[in-house]
Homo-oligomer: A and B are copies of this chain.
Amino acid sequence: MTKKLWDKGYEVNKEVEDFIVGNDYALDMQLVKYDCIASIAHARMLGRIGILNKKEVKMLVSELNSIIVLWENGDFKISKEQEDMHTAIENRLTEKLGGPGKKIHTGRSRNDQVLTALRLYYKDSLKECISLSEQLITSMKAFSSKYGEIALPGYTHTRKAMPSSVGLWTGAFIDSMKDNIKLLNGVFEIVDQSPLGTAAGYGSPITLDREFTARELGFARVQENPIYVQMSRGKFEASILHAISQIMLDFNKIASDLIVFSMPELGYYELPVNFTTGSSMMPNKKNPDILERMRANYHVMMAYESEVKGISGNLMTGYNGDIQLTKEPMLNGFSLAKRSIRIGSLLFMNLRVNRKNCKRGLTEDVYATHSEYNLVHQGMPFRDAYTQVGRKYSGKE
């Protein structure tokens, strides 16, 4: 059964339909569980306010749970003609249950329905990113315990500057990841509002119990204003992607460092050989593809973010069809973030430090600032000490 929810007796032009639906029906396959969970809460609420009787609620809840099981086993499908999961699910409910299926959509619209499913997905995914980041911090700490005390040169402007250490370097990323988690938590709190019950963006002609569904679904509060609910699609998405892009930026920097610091010419850090790849032609190559992909993925995430932000601009309030296209970068963005954090942990569990090369790198110039401060300790004003020591390094020309 592939009746559209908005069927009014005419068929949409096939090519137009293909163009509009795009791969939305396929993307929805990642969200079916969340849509069912939201529908269960909605059905229970319809029971409370007298739209459904107890038996109808029970039938709907049971069938929705069946769909979740089907989906978990890979046996629930959404066809392109059905457009999306909402249609596929309502069609199935009506097919299996008749009347109750035709009542499930009372008091809601796909507009608040998709927002609810997405928001449940975002909340789960944000929590997973936070938990993976905590595991990553654990991996970093283990790495630092093992190698942290090793001294090596610190660089500025890609030039040796002053002495640093593996622990200092790792610690920077640990602290940064902690701040990333703060940012993720801050965004989580903003996102943690229930959109369910705002219908198409202007409320519903019948009075719903929005507090009940919010509670059932574990939202911290109800997002009251229905126009704001619609407005926040695209907007919350942008903040989510921004927050996870900050994790990606850290990986970009880790990778940028390690690509240079593990060049044989410097050799401070080393990847195990089974973390490297070869060339199809040059037998000598062991390439840090893993690091290059980490570096590049920051830009991929930025593209997702700018896609969402671009799509959301210059649109009036009220749902606009444009906003459907933010679903893909969101699903892709979370998937990329999770994969990246996992591979980041793996990296720190396997990364090695070459003590000998680190020591060799600590050439005399790295201690120039220390020489200068020896003069300061002897009472010379800082700027005079700088000038005196500096002469040594400018005369090389």
Contacts and interface: CB of A to CB of B under 8 A. Distances in A.
Contact of A6 (B169, B280, B370): B280
B20 A231 contact: no
Contacts of A303: 303-304, 306-307, 310, 329
Interface stretch (A63-71, A74-82, A101-109): A101-109
B321 A382 contact: no
B161 A285 contact: yes
A157 B19 contact: no
A278 B172 contact: no
A220 interface: no
B397 A273 contact: yes
A162 interface: yes
A47 interface: no
A120 interface: no
Interface in A158-198: 158-164, 168-169, 171-173, 175-176, 179, 182-183, 186-187, 189-190
Contacts of A223: 175
Contact of A281 (B108, B263, B297): B108
Nearest to A179: B190
A145 to B, nearest CB: 16
Given A282-B369, A300-B307, A253 B315 contact: yes
13 contacts: A9-B391, A13-B275, A102-B382, A156-B201, A161-B279, A164-B202, A168-B202, A182-B186, A205-B370, A231-B253, A242-B242, A288-B321, A303-B307
Interface residues of A, number: 173
A383 B190 contact: no
Given A161-B279, A206-B376, 17 more contacts: A9-B395, A10-B397, A19-B339, A102-B384, A109-B280, A175-B224, A176-B232, A206-B377, A249-B313, A252-B314, A253-B317, A281-B386, A283-B393, A292-B321, A295-B314, A300-B311, A313-B314
A1 interface: no
A138 interface: no
Interface stretch (A30-38, A209-217, A254-262): A254-262
A274 B13 contact: yes
Contact of A279 (B109, B246, B260, B365): B109
B280 A103 contact: no
Given A15-B346, A183-B186, A295-B314, A289 B321 contact: yes
Max chain B C-beta neighbours (<10 A), residue from A103, A169, A278: A278
A111 interface: yes
Given A202-B163, A298-B313, A310-B303, A394 B15 contact: no
Contact of A382 (B103, B162, B203): B103
B325 A300 contact: yes
A225 interface: yes
A356 interface: no
A326 B153 CA distance: 26
A160 B264 contact: yes
A239 interface: yes
A350 B15 CA distance: 12
A227 interface: yes
A351 interface: no
A364 to B, nearest CB: 9
